[in-house]
Amino acid sequence: MKAPPRIADAARKRITDAIAQIRHSVSAIESGRPGDAEYENSRKVQVLQARTGVSLDEAARVVARPDEGAERIWGKTVDFVDVAFFERGRRAARAVARIVTKDGAPLGTGFLISPRLMMTNNHVIGSEAEAAALVAEFEYERDVGGRMLAPTTYEFEPTSCFVTNSQDDLDYTVVALGRRISGATELAALGYLPVSAARNKHQLGDFVNIIQHPDGRPKEAVIRENQLVARSGTTLDYIADTEPGSSGSPVLNVQFALVALHHWGTPHRELTDENGKTIPKTVNEGIRASSISSDLTTLRTSLQSGPRSLIDEALQLGLSSDAPAASAQTAGEASARVQSTPMVAHVHDGVATWNIPLSVSIRLGDAPSAQMVSAAASAPGTGAAEARVELDPDYSDRDGYDPEFLPGAEVPLPKLSRDLAKLAAKNLRVGRNEDPYELKYHHYSVIMNGARKLAFVSAVNIDGATSKDYDRSTGKITDPMMGIDGDDASEASELWFPEHRIRDDEQTPRDFYEGQTTFDAQGNQILDKRTSGHRNRMFQKGHLTRRQDPLWGDDESIIKFANADTFHVTNCSPQVGFFNMGIFKQGTNAEMRAASEKQAVHPGGNLYWRALEEFVLTNARAERERVSVFTGAVFDDENDIPWDRGRQEMRGFKAPRQFWKLLLRVENNELQATALVADQSPLIDYVPEALLRGEAVSKPLPYDKIKKYHFSVAELQKITGLAFGATVMKADTFGAGGRSASGRREVRRIEDVAILRPPQTKKRRK
């Protein structure tokens, strides 16, 4: 089936935008150095290690000195492959089918991703009704003698499972197969091509293989005459020959592992770059397997138990499969293993994507139907932005919070008391000699209060010298714009992930905040377009470590993954309305930048909870300095707000009234530690009966009533139970300006917060 115009137009634009990548890759390929096409060294290392079995250190050495080790690892020419290549290809081909109408008209290609589920494009099968009118025809192919085999046909069973995404840069459908209509081959004998989110499956310059039914013909393959030339947030571009009918074909690497779902291959001779040069007409586009895996992980929690179990099985196979294409025997064995293995090890019911339809003055919609979940329906208005949140599936490479990050100062993670340690969630995959409670992410770490399902602390390192901004709508990484573009209005992105290193009952489930009546934060008036999609629910999912904070460094892949890491549910806490970002102010970028520089206020409002941290981050970027930030909730079991919303699994859950931050930086060659506490009690107590019903109020909340405090570190230690250590205690700025060395004081303006310790003078010897 030919891709519809909207998909073709979008693909053309993406390919045009990627012209620099394409030309660089083609140049590297034509010069006989295809490995030079890939620009992410970390990806090169992981791909090399996965394909050769050498250690990561050895792979890194080869990547760093390709002329010294490449031949030993890869052989003298890319034309040499292991003879197992043919067997892997044969196994992979068995899982591929022709999709036809019940009267035999061909529409496209599909392939099994598990013993029961088939994947194809949304533009091939776009609805349950369409699926019910089609069949999957396996073994429509010739044998070694050129004779046609007798095909085996299965009907689709969309009532058992149907998940689709119509976005032009995702464009996939997963649907269950039902009874066999004709032929003799059992599904278990066909194998499957697992959908994995691993990033060690491809690099630019790689050969890919496409198994397809072009124009409805018997099964064919495009083998090793096609190479990857560009990569975007959700798509791969490759030079290959495909025809109509190839839509829905698997794009496979040299080991026949799935790297993409082919969805567009129309010739585009008319495309030229900015210099008028024609883009190679054979560039085709596929949807990255990792993007589909992430999207399925997002959508599965909206399904009922039956469809969800089938999706979970497919996701589990993608996580655990060692072989790119399972044989008939291994397919059955793997299926049995999945069914007998608790899903909590990898994929949880709490997996997370809080895709909540936000509408003014209406109740949020119920979960989508069990058989069909569309990303467009789940998150209206988010469009392709959500697809840019790309999660790194390999948690072993997370560096976490670095206690030696600040120059000349060592600041370890806060220590738990013996009583708090009893409440903490244990990392089920902790390494030897590692903190058993620390969950490491890219550039930040979290310690969870498993009893309260919220974080004790989220600790982040921020490097102002290499800080970056990441646009989730385009996937582009740019130099920072001083934090004045209202980017934190995207806090309600709704795309969140579970933490599979701790138990499900030690974290909040994805749909816990759904079903709250909403209204505009400024009454009924729609705000500036940058925040018009962010409504004032009673409790929003507020980031603890901010999305921008860990986005730094020179490795663009790490920046993208660090962005996604902040969307783990462990980094989320219930915060009322715009409590965590202030009230949006109208104004131009220049006006807001001037206000930020002169008054040190966050453009989103003058609530210092955000303003001081933004002020510190802005200066860190401007001065190319380093900053560390600890953030958490103040747990007060006696006074916090019961908010289990009638859910059995959340019985006893309470929303914290207070949140704290500890800002750490080095200035005047000395560590400076500033402790802040914000109390959202005035907003909670404003309409407690509405809060407990999960509703909003009929008029704007009085944000100016939020209580804001500058705390001493000693006082913060007292109310949290955490031990910050003697180094931080000594660096406390609370005593500056003649204030007492311990306690708290309410503040109304950012200028009231002391952010520098008084100069230390040496005592004279008598």
What pLDDT digit, counting tens, does each position of 363-387 carry?
222 232 323 333 322 332 333 333 3
Cβ within 8 Å of residue 303, ≥6 positions away? 161, 163, 311, 370, 373
CB of 631 closer than 8 Å to CB of 660: yes
Residue with the larger pLDDT of the pair 741 and 69 = 741
Residue with the larger pLDDT of the pair 488 and 128 = 128
The residue ranges of DSSP E strands in 7-151, in sequence order, are 96-101, 106-112, 117-120, 134-138
- pLDDT at position 760 is 60
pTM of the model: 0.53
Residue with the larger pLDDT of the pair 534 and 395 = 395
List, in sequence order, every residue forming a beta bridge with 109; answer none if it has no partner. 98
In the predicted model, is pLDDT for residue 542 greater than 50? yes
Q: List the one residue out of 636, 630, 628 whose CA is nearest residue 721.
A: 636
Of the listed ranges 82-91, 261-270, 574-583, the least confidently predicted one is 574-583
Of the listed ranges 36-50, 96-110, 203-217, 399-413, the least confidently predicted one is 36-50
- pLDDT at position 330 is 41
Cβ within 8 Å of residue 766, ≥6 positions away? none
- The Cα-based distances of 97 to 111, 218, 245, 368 in angstroms read 6, 10, 11, 29
- pLDDT at position 358 is 23
CB of 467 closer than 8 Å to CB of 550: no
Residue-wise pLDDT tens digits, 146-176: 899 999 999 999 999 999 998 888 999 999 9
Q: List the one residue out of 108, 91, 502, 45 whose CA is nearest residue 258.
A: 91
Residue 680: how many other CB atoms lie within 10 Å? 28
Cβ within 8 Å of residue 224, ≥6 positions away? 81, 207, 209, 254
Of the listed ranges 72-76, 95-99, 227-231, 309-313, the least confidently predicted one is 72-76
- One-letter amino acid at 447 equals I
For 476, the 3-state DSSP assignment is: strand
Residue 132, both tokens = 């019910």
CB of 196 closer than 8 Å to CB of 321: yes
Enumerate the active-site residues: 123, 171, 247
Question: Which residue reads 């194809």 in tokens?
Answer: 120
In the predicted model, is pLDDT for residue 453 greater than 80? yes
Q: What is the average per-residue pLDDT within 409-419?
A: 96
Q: Are strands 172-182 and 117-120 parallel, antiparallel or unpaired?
A: antiparallel
In the predicted model, is pLDDT for residue 653 greater than 90? yes
- pLDDT at position 590 is 42
Residue with the larger pLDDT of the pair 455 and 61 = 455
All domains in the chain, ordered by first residue: 37-66 (no CATH), 83-314 (2.40.10.120), 415-753 (3.40.570.10)
| Rounded Cα distance, 16 and 336, in Å | 46
For 562, the 3-state DSSP assignment is: helix
CA angle 47/397/471 to nearest 5° reads: 85
| Rounded Cα distance, 534 and 548, in Å | 18
Please compute, for residue 254, the number of CA atoms within 13 A of its CA located in the half-sphere on the CB side. Answer: 23
For 99, the 3-state DSSP assignment is: strand
Dihedral of CA atoms 384, 386, 390, 395 in degrees, nearest 10, equals -170
CA 712 distance to own-chain centroid:
36
Residue 484, both tokens = 């004045």
Q: If phi over 0 gives left and psi between -120 and 50 gives alpha, with beta otherwise, what is residue 269?
A: alpha
Q: If phi over 0 gives left and psi between -120 and 50 gives alpha, with beta otherwise, what is residue 721?
A: left
For the chain, the straight-line distance linking the first and the last C-alpha, in angstroms and rounded, comes to: 93
The residue ranges of DSSP E strands in 235-323, in sequence order, are 235-239, 250-252, 258-264, 283-288
